């Protein structure tokens, strides 16, 4: 099988021929149909974060495909079934986090495409208990971005406790942000979308943003304060100053939800304003299996649009460059078996 491999941090990925992986007990082997390119895969390939993966590894945590073999003890999934393989590859199932519905905080978790090989491959392994069945009516090319970009922003809005009539700032309208705008609208909020390219701002409007802020020419904090301040700001731009800008645009009692993970990122948090204004800063990491099930249900019900373009896996290095240059409309999805045919825009 073909796989795109990080052999060394910061070097181009190498397309390799590898033997098909064999599922162990509790695992399944998936023939990957579609695999999204999340900005996290780029951080992984660059070794950007304090905890690094160990090369060689196959990135990718938006892999979707059909089960072709089940390992010992797997009884609830069957050959031929379509599943998504998210960042949360597996967790212990016994710790306080796992037992309280916060398996995303489990200290024994293994992350797909980081702690084990991921979806930039024709075949991949998944732990059956964490492989999410994809409902009828959701194509693999839509399911792929939902598997990380969707569940992560859906969860970020949940932890922000967004309610109707609130003003929500979505900072960064990329793979994550284009879905965040839609979940914020579904929650009933007034949405201010912030980005630095005309195309992204236009896309945000098309997806329902009430207000768009061009961070190249406008100060997001000032614009948000001009509207009374944001009740919640979801920080999705891979840029530290964008975090500071939306934090300053919160209204009293507002919440900054940190999601993007710029390399070695830190922000300067003014203590006086944070205390006097009663604002909160919350970190949010992906979402649980239940969150992903809800994300798929919403899409199956026609409530979200996944904007994506499909590419062959061989384009992985050019595709990464385009994401870094902000040239991608929302999400690139690798087409692992040619099923998408010519580049499709949306499904």
176 binds ligand NAD (CB under 6 A): yes
Which of these segments, 7-15, 78-86, 279-287, 297-305, binds ligand NAD (CB under 6 A)?
A: 279-287
Q: Quick one: DSSP state of residue 150?
A: I
171 binds Zn ion (CB under 5 A): no
Residue 201 β-bridge partners = none
Residues 6+ apart with CB under 8 A from 94: none
Question: Residues 43, 185, 255, 308: which binds ligand NAD (CB under 6 A)?
Answer: 43
Question: Residues 5, 64, 169, 194: which binds ligand NAD (CB under 6 A)?
Answer: 194
181 neighbors 173 (Cβ within 8 angstroms): yes
Q: Of these partners, ligand NAD, Zn ion, none, which one is at the site of residue 215 (CB under 5 to 8 Å by kind)?
A: ligand NAD
301 neighbors 278 (Cβ within 8 angstroms): no
Minimum Å gap between C-beta 130 and ligand NAD is 15
Element (H, E) at 252: strand 250-258
Which of these segments, 109-117, 132-140, 254-262, 305-313, binds ligand NAD (CB under 6 A)?
A: 254-262
Q: Closer to ligand NAD at the Cβ: 21 or 145?
A: 145
233 neighbors 250 (Cβ within 8 angstroms): yes
Q: Of these partners, ligand NAD, Zn ion, none, which one is at the site of residue 92 (CB under 5 to 8 Å by kind)?
A: Zn ion
125: helix, strand or coil: strand
Q: Closer to Zn ion at the Cβ: 40 or 244?
A: 40
Question: Residues 286, 295, 320, 336: which binds ligand NAD (CB under 6 A)?
Answer: 286
H-state helical runs in the chain = 39-46, 96-99, 140-145, 151-160, 175-186, 198-206, 220-226, 240-248, 271-277, 289-300, 316-324
Which of 113, 104, 97 lies closest to 5, judged by CA? 113
Question: Residues 109, 111, 139, 171: which binds ligand NAD (CB under 6 A)?
Answer: 171
Which of 179, 182, 83 lies closest to 135, judged by CA? 83
Helices 39-46 and 316-324: crossing angle in degrees, nearest 10, is 100
Minimum Å gap between C-beta 38 and Zn ion is 3
Q: Closer to ligand NAD at the Cβ: 138 or 242?
A: 242
174 binds ligand NAD (CB under 6 A): yes
Q: Quick one: DSSP state of residue 20?
A: P
40 binds Zn ion (CB under 5 A): yes
Minimum Å gap between C-beta 221 and Zn ion is 27
Residues 229, 251: Cα–Cα separation, whole Å? 4
Minimum Å gap between C-beta 23 and ligand NAD is 26
| Distances, alpha carbon 240 to alpha carbons 38, 149, 204, 232, 314, in Å | 19, 20, 21, 17, 32
Q: Closer to Zn ion at the Cβ: 147 or 166?
A: 147
236 binds ligand NAD (CB under 6 A): yes
Number of residues that bind Zn ion (CB under 5 A): 8
323 binds ligand NAD (CB under 6 A): yes
Q: Quick one: DSSP state of residue 22?
A: P
Which of these segments, 39-47, 134-142, 179-187, 206-214, binds Zn ion (CB under 5 A)?
A: 39-47
Residues 40, 260: Cα–Cα separation, whole Å? 9
102-161 binders of Zn ion (CB under 5 A): 106, 148
Gyration radius from the chain CA atoms: 19
152 binds ligand NAD (CB under 6 A): yes
Binding site for Zn ion (CB under 5 A): 38, 40, 91-92, 95, 98, 106, 148
Binding site for ligand NAD (CB under 6 A): 38-40, 43, 148-149, 152, 171-177, 194-197, 200, 215, 236-239, 242, 259-261, 284-286, 323, 326
């Amino acid at each position: 099988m073909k796989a795109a491999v990080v052999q060394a941090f910061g070097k181009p990925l190498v397309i390799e021929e590898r033997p098909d992986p064999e599922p162990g007990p509790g695992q399944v082997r998936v023939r990957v149909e579609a695999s999204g390119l999340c900005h996290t895969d780029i951080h992984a390939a660059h070794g950007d974060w304090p905890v690094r993966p160990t090369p060689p590894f196959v990135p990718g945590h938006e892999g979707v495909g059909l089960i072709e073999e089940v390992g010992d003890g797997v009884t609830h999934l069957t050959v031929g079934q379509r599943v998504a393989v998210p960042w949360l590859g597996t967790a212990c199932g016994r710790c306080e986090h796992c037992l309280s519905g916060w398996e995303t905080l489990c200290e024994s978790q293994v992350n797909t495409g980081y702690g084990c090989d991921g979806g930039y491959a024709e075949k991949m392994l998944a732990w059956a208990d964490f492989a999410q069945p994809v409902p009828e009516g959701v194509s693999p090319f839509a399911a792929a971005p939902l598997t990380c970009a969707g569940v992560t922003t859906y969860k970020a809005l949940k932890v922000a406790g967004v309610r109707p009539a609130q003003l929500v700032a979505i900072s960064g309208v990329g793979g994550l942000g284009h879905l965040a705008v839609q979940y914020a609208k579904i929650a009933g909020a007034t949405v201010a979308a912030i980005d630095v390219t005309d195309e992204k701002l236009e896309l945000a409007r098309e997806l329902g943003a009430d207000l768009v802020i061009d961070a190249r020419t406008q100060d997001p904090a000032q614009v948000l304060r001009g509207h009374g301040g944001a009740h919640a700001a979801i920080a999705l731009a891979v840029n530290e100053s964008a975090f500071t800008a939306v934090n300053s645009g919160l209204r009293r009692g507002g919440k900054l939800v940190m999601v993007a993970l710029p390399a070695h990122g830190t922000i300067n948090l003014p203590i006086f304003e944070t205390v006097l204004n009663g604002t909160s800063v919350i970190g949010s990491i992906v979402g649980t299996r239940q969150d992903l099930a809800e994300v798929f249900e919403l899409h199956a019900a026609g409530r979200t649009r996944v904007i994506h373009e499909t590419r062959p896996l061989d384009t992985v290095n050019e595709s990464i460059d385009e994401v870094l240059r902000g040239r991608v409309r929302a999400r690139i999805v690798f087409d692992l078996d040619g099923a998408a045919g010519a580049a499709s825009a949306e499904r």
